[in-house]
C-alpha cells in the first residue's frame, strides 16, 4: 500500500512556514531526463518540495537519485494506476510529466508499452489534474514532427505539422494532443515542451551516445546505423531541464515551447568525436543495419522560448559537453555496468 499521507521529513521543510514552497510531482523522475531534472531543481530551486513517482522499469534507476535521496519523497508506482495518481496529484501543486516509454527500437519490437504509458498514463494524469485543479507541464519530443530532409534549411517550429513515424513518436504525439484537448475542453492549466535529442549523465546505455561510450569502455566497437548521415539536434540534459524550469515559471497555459540549443550534427560526426576523445581510431567503428523508418534529420527552432521567456542554453560547446559525458560514464561504471550485458544482448538479437 502507498502511504500518501506520509509527511515530508526534510529539515529544510521544517524550518519554513506551511505552504511556502511549491510542491512538485515529477513522473518518471528516476529516468534519464527526469532524474537530472530533480538534481537541477534541488540545486536551482531548493525551496521546491519534490515527490518522484517512477515504476522502475528497465530505464528507471533509483541510483540516479542517490545524491538527493534524502531530499525528496520517492514513490514506486505506475502512472496508469488511477487511484495512486489521483492521490499524489491531489497533494501537489504541479505535475512535471517526464514518464514515458521512449526508445524507438523498443517501440518497433513491441508497441503496446508505449500505448499504455504514453497515452493511458497521460490520460490518468490529465484527469487527476482536472479533478483537483492542479497545473501540468508535459514533456514531449521533436520526433512528433517526423523528420526533415538532410539539405533542408527549415527547422521545426511550434506550428510544424505533426507527422510521427514510429510507435514511440506517434504515442507521444497522441499524448500532446490529449493535453491540448484537456486545456481547450476542460480549462486545465498546462504547458507542453518538445525537445531535441538529449545527452549527458545517467542516460540508459541503450541510447546512442552512452551506448558508444560504454562500448569502448567495455572493449567493444562502436555500432553505427547505416552510413551515419542522419542528423540530430543535440542538447545537454541540463539545458533541457533549465528550459523546463523557465517554462514552469513563465510559460502560458495552452502554449507549446520547443527546446533546442542549435546542436545539429550527423551521427558519423558524433561517433568520430567519441573515438577521438577516447583515443580510438576508425577500426573501432562498425556499421550495422539501419533502423526501420530511421528519421533523417531533426532540428529545433527555439526562437519562441528565447524571445518570449528569455531562456538561453549554457552548454553551447557540444565537444565540451560530450567530454564531460564521457568522463561521467568513465567514472561511474557501477551505475551502467549492470545494464550493459542485457542491453547488448537485445541489440544482438535484432542484428544491431
pLDDT tens-digit map of 3-35 = 433 333 332 333 234 445 799 999 999 999 999
Check which CATH number belongs to the domain holding 152 and give it.
3.40.50.720
SS3 114: helix
Number of structural domains in the chain: 1
pLDDT for res 291: 75
Distance CA 326, CA 216 (A): 10
pLDDT for res 10: 31
Q: Is residue 281 part of a domain?
A: no
Distance CA 286, CA 329 (A): 21
pLDDT for res 19: 45
**Nine cell digits for residue 272:** 568520430
pLDDT for res 193: 98
Q: Are 172 and 140 in contact (CB under 8 A)?
A: yes
pLDDT for res 294: 81
Q: Is residue 347 part of a domain?
A: no
Q: Is residue 107 part of a domain?
A: yes
> If you ran DSSP here, which 8-state letter would residue 117 be given?
I
Q: Which residue has the cell 481547450?
A: 184
**Long-range contacts: 77-82, Cβ < 8 Å, 24+?**
77/2, 77/53, 78/121, 79/27, 79/28, 79/53, 79/55, 79/117, 79/121, 79/122, 79/124, 79/125, 80/116, 80/117, 80/120, 80/121, 80/124, 81/124, 82/124, 82/127, 82/128
* For the chain, counts of helices (H) and of strands (E): 13, 12
pLDDT for res 58: 86
Distance CA 221, CA 102 (A): 25
Q: Is residue 337 part of a domain?
A: no
Which residues does the chain have with pLDDT short of 50?
1-19
Measured at the alpha carbon of residue 252, what is the angle toward residues 246 and 254, in degrees to the nearest 5?
Answer: 120
Q: How many residues appear in the chain?
A: 352
Q: Is residue 346 part of a domain?
A: no
Neighbours of 102 (CB within 10 A): 26
Instruction: Just list the catalytic residues.
Output: 142-143, 168
Q: Which residue has the cell 518540495?
A: 49
**Nine cell digits for residue 296:** 533523417
Expressed as residue numbers, the domain containing 171 is 11-204+236-264+294-318
pLDDT for res 234: 97
pLDDT for res 9: 32
pLDDT for res 103: 67
Q: Is residue 334 part of a domain?
A: no
Distance CA 84, CA 77 (A): 8
Contacts of 262 (CB under 8 A, 6+ apart): 233, 300, 302, 313, 316
Distance CA 133, CA 136 (A): 10
pLDDT for res 185: 98
Q: Is residue 182 part of a domain?
A: yes
pLDDT for res 352: 64
Q: Is residue 287 part of a domain?
A: no
Give how far the C-alpha of residue 259 lies from the chain's centroid of Cα atoms, to the nearest Å.
12
pLDDT for res 293: 73
Q: 14-31 burial string, b = 16+ CB within 10 Å, else e?
A: eeeeeeebbbbbbbbbbb
pLDDT for res 20: 52
Q: Are 246 and 259 in contact (CB under 8 A)?
A: no
Amino acid at each position: 500500500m502507498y502511504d500518501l499521507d506520509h509527511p515530508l521529513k526534510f529539515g529544510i521543510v521544517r524550518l519554513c512556514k506551511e505552504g511556502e514552497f511549491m510542491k512538485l510531482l515529477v513522473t518518471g523522475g528516476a529516468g534519464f531526463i527526469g532524474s537530472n531534472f530533480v538534481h537541477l531543481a534541488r540545486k536551482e530551486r531548493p525551496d521546491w518540495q519534490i515527490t518522484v513517482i517512477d515504476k522502475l522499469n528497465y530505464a528507471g534507476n533509483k541510483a540516479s537519485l542517490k545524491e538527493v535521496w534524502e531530499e525528496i519523497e520517492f514513490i514506486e508506482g505506475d502512472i496508469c494506476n488511477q487511484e495512486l495518481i489521483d492521490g499524489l496529484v491531489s497533494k501537489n501543486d504541479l505535475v512535471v510529466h517526464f514518464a514515458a516509454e521512449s526508445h524507438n527500437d523498443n517501440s518497433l519490437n513491441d508497441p503496446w508499452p508505449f500505448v499504455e504509458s504514453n497515452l493511458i498514463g497521460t490520460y490518468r494524469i490529465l484527469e487527476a489534474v482536472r479533478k483537483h485543479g492542479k497545473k501540468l507541464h508535459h514533456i514531449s519530443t521533436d520526433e512528433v514532427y517526423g523528420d526533415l530532409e538532410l539539405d533542408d534549411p527549415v527547422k521545426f517550429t511550434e506550428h510544424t505539422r505533426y507527422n510521427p513515424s514510429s510507435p514511440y513518436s506517434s504515442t507521444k504525439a497522441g499524448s500532446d494532443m490529449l493535453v491540448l484537448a484537456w486545456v481547450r475542453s476542460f480549462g486545465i492549466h498546462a504547458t507542453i515542451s518538445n525537445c531535441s535529442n538529449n545527452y549527458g549523465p545517467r542516460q540508459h546505455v541503450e541510447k546512442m551516445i552512452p551506448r558508444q561510450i560504454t562500448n569502448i569502455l567495455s572493449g567493444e566497437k562502436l555500432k553505427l546505423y547505416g552510413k551515419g548521415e542522419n542528423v540530430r539536434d543535440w542538447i545537454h540534459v541540463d539545458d533541457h531541464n533549465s528550459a523546463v524550469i523557465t517554462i514552469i515559471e513563465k510559460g502560458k497555459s495552452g502554449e507549446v515551447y520547443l527546446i533546442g540549443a542549435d546542436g545539429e550534427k550527423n551521427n558519423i560526426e558524433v561517433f568520430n568525436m567519441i573515438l577521438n576523445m577516447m583515443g580510438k581510431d576508425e577500426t573501432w567503428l562498425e556499421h550495422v543495419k539501419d533502423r526501420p523508418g530511421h528519421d533523417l534529420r531533426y532540428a529545433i527552432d527555439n526562437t519562441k522560448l528565447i524571445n518570449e521567456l528569455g531562456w538561453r542554453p549554457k552548454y553551447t560547446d557540444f565537444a565540451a559537453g560530450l567530454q564531460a559525458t564521457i568522463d561521467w560514464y568513465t567514472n561511474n561504471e557501477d551505475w551502467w555496468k549492470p545494464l550493459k550485458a542485457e542491453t547488448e544482448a537485445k541489440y544482438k538479437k535484432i542484428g544491431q
